[in-house]
């Protein structure tokens, strides 16, 4: 209950208080600091979303390229042993809608078995006929059409079991 003068009933000078500092509002400095903090949070969130999108695109491209490589490897496995597997692996690329040159293959022949990969394998000589027990190493390289991701699959093939 406000204090009043006993004679007049009017408010006393003590009743006429100045506004409290909490009711005075925010200063320009406080508003600028708040805007700076909010901007920092927004920039961090935007950066996180951009990073997430880029990672998602890369993951999708890696999944596509691995699918192409697995299809190429499967087709090489089913094909009879031959000197050149270009058409076999290129069909895996074209099935995905990629250019045929997105997937390449190099064929090497096992010439010795010393355990030294550099000395044991030699490039396949297509002028020499393949024998039933020849062992080939095929290195299949796939490059995503966006040129951002590439992978390699190595397959060892022989028609020994046929």
Q: Write out the DSSP string of 15-64.
A: TSPPPPGGGG---HHHHHHHHHHHHHHHHHHHHHHHHHHHHHHHHHHHHH
Q: Classify 87 as helix, strand or coil.
A: helix
- In this predicted structure, the answer to whether residue 86 has a pLDDT above a threshold of 70 is yes
Measured CA distances, 149 to 47, 61, 102, 141, 144 (Å)? 22, 7, 11, 11, 6
Is the pLDDT confidence value at 131 over 70?
yes
3-state DSSP assignment of residue 124: coil
Confidence grade of residue 104 (pLDDT, cut at 50, 70, 90):
very high
Structure confidence at residue 126 (pLDDT): 83
Q: How far apart are CA 114 and CA 62, in angstroms?
A: 35
Residue 123 and residue 84: Cα distance in Å, rounded?
Answer: 11
According to the model, what pLDDT value does residue 141 have? Answer: 95
pLDDT tens track for 8-34: 666 665 555 555 555 667 889 999 999
């Amino acid at each position: 209950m406000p204090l009043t003068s006993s004679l007049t009933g009017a408010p006393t000078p003590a009743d006429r208080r100045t506004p409290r500092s909490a009711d005075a509002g925010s200063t320009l400095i406080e508003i600028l600091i708040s805007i700076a903090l909010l901007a920092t949070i927004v920039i961090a969130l935007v950066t996180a979303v951009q990073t997430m999108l880029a990672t998602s695109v890369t993951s999708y491209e890696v999944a596509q390229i691995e699918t192409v490589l697995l299809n190429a490897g499967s087709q090489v496995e089913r094909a009879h042993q031959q000197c050149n597997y270009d058409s076999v692996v290129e069909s895996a690329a074209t099935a995905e809608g990629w250019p045929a040159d997105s997937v390449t293959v190099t064929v090497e022949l096992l010439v010795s078995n010393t355990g030294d990969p550099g000395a044991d394998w030699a490039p396949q000589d297509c002028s020499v006929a393949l024998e039933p027990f020849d062992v080939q190493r095929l290195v299949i390289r796939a490059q995503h059409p966006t040129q951002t991701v590439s992978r390699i699959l190595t397959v060892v093939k022989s028609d020994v079991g046929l």
